[in-house]
Amino acid sequence: MYKVLIIEDDVTISSIIEKSLQKWGFTPKRIEVFSDILTPFHSFEPHLILLDINLPYYDGFYWCTKIRELSNVPIMFISSRDTDADKIRAITQGGDDYIEKPFSIDLLIAKIQATLRRSYSYNDETLHTLQYKDLLLHLDKQLIVTNQDEIELTKNESKILAILIQHNGNTVTRSKIMQTLWDNESFVDDNTLTVNITRLRRKLKEINVEDYIKTVKGEGYRLS
C-alpha cells in the first residue's frame, strides 16, 4: 500500500485529501507539527509527498531542499501561489509536479497515480482497489471481495460501482454514470444503465451485500 505524506497546514484541505486518499487505497499521514517535518518523514517513509509552500516556521521550498538532501521520493507541490516563478522554483528545487489550489480531488488523484507510475515500477493492487464498508472492489480484476465471498463483475458493472464508491454516499446522476460508461464504440443508453444496475444489485445480493445501491427518484443512485 502506497504511503503519502501530506504537508499542508490548512486542516480542512489536509483532512479532505486524507479521506480521499484512504478511499483510493493509499495510506496517508498528515503533518500536524510543522517545526520538525524530517522526523515524521523518516519514521513514515512515504512513497510520495504532497507539499504546500506557505507553511508555519519554514516554507515548502525549504523542506523540499531538506528532503532532497536525504531522498529522491516524489514531491508534488500543492499551493495557491500561481506565478511562473513559484512553479519554476518548485521544480528546480526538486519538485516533481505542481498543482494549484483550488483543485479537484479527481485531478489530484490522477496526478498522484501518474507520478507513482513514473517513479516506481509496480503492479500493486492498492492503486486499483476501492473500499466501501466491508466491500472491496478490485478495478483491474473487476472483482468484488467481502470478508468471506467474492464475485466477478462485467466492465460496466465495475465502472458503475467504482463511481458510486468514489462519491461516498452522495447521489450520482444517471447522466454522469452514463458518461462514465462511454466507450469508443457505443453509447450506453438509459435502458442499458437500468439493466446494469439491476444485474449489479443481483450480484451484490449473491454475496449477502444487500440494499447498498439506493435509487434517488428523478436523479440517480447512491450508496447507503
Q: Does 114 lie in the same domain as 10?
A: yes
Task: Flag whether pLDDT at 123 surpasses 50.
Answer: no
How many Cα atoms within 13 Å fall on the side-chain side of residue 93? 21
Q: What is the pLDDT of residue 188?
A: 61
The residue ranking higher by pLDDT, 205 or 141, is: 205
**Final residue of a structural domain among 103, 122, 141:** 122
Q: What is the pLDDT of residue 156?
A: 87
Task: Flag whether pLDDT at 183 surpasses 60.
Answer: no
The residue ranking higher by pLDDT, 126 or 142, is: 142
Instruction: Name the residue range of residue 189's domain.
Output: 129-223
Note the pLDDT tens digit of each residue in 187-221. Answer: 566 788 889 999 999 999 998 888 899 999 989 99
Tell me the three state secondary structure of residue 28. strand
Note the pLDDT tens digit of each residue in 144-162. Answer: 888 778 899 998 899 899 8
What CATH number does the domain containing 195 carry? Answer: 1.10.10.10
Average pLDDT for residues 61-86, to the nearest whole number? Answer: 92
Q: What are phi and psi of 209, to 5 degrees?
A: -115, 95
Task: Flag whether pLDDT at 184 surpasses 50.
Answer: no
Q: How far apart are CA 109 and CA 181, in angstroms?
A: 20
The residue ranking higher by pLDDT, 34 or 179, is: 34
Q: What percent of the chain has pLDDT over 90?
A: 43
Q: Does 146 lie in the same domain as 74?
A: no
The residue ranking higher by pLDDT, 168 or 208, is: 208
Q: What is the pLDDT of residue 60?
A: 94
- Which ranges constitute the DSSP H helices of the chain? 11-23, 38-44, 60-68, 84-92, 105-119, 155-166, 174-180, 190-206
Which strands sit side by side in the sheet containing 3-7, from one edge to the other? 27-30, 3-7, 48-51, 75-79, 97-100
Q: Answer yes or no: are the C-beta atoms of 33 and 9 closer than 8 Å.
A: no
Q: Does 147 lie in the same domain as 82?
A: no
Q: Does 35 lie in the same domain as 142?
A: no
Q: What is the pLDDT of residue 34?
A: 94
Write the DSSP assignment of 143-162 as a string of letters. Answer: EEE-SS-EEE--HHHHHHHH
Q: Does 110 lie in the same domain as 209?
A: no
Q: Does 56 lie in the same domain as 22?
A: yes
Q: Does 219 lie in the same domain as 118?
A: no
Q: How far apart are CA 43 and CA 22, in angstroms?
A: 19
Nearest to 167 by CA among 211, 192, 132: 132
**Final residue of a structural domain among 101, 122, 143:** 122
Nearest to 165 by CA among 209, 194, 135: 135
Q: What is the pLDDT of residue 187?
A: 55
Q: Answer yes or no: are the C-beta atoms of 193 and 177 closer than 8 Å.
A: yes
Q: Does 163 lie in the same domain as 80?
A: no
As a whole number, the mean pLDDT across the chain is: 86
Q: Does 183 lie in the same domain as 134?
A: yes
Q: Does 8 lie in the same domain as 98?
A: yes
Which pLDDT band, with edges at 50, 70 and 90, does 51 fall under? very high
**C-alpha distances in angstroms, 164 versus 80, 83, 107, 203?**
30, 37, 18, 16
Which strands sit side by side in the sheet containing 129-132, from one edge to the other? 129-132, 135-138, 143-145, 150-152
Q: What is the pLDDT of residue 185?
A: 41
Note the pLDDT tens digit of each residue in 21-49. Answer: 988 888 999 999 999 999 999 999 999 99
Q: Which three cell numbers stand for residue 22?
A: 484512504
Q: Does 93 lie in the same domain as 36?
A: yes
**C-alpha distances in angstroms, 79 versus 8, 51, 53, 55, 153?**
9, 8, 6, 10, 39
Q: How many Cβ atoms are within 10 Å of 191's Cβ, its own excluded?
A: 8
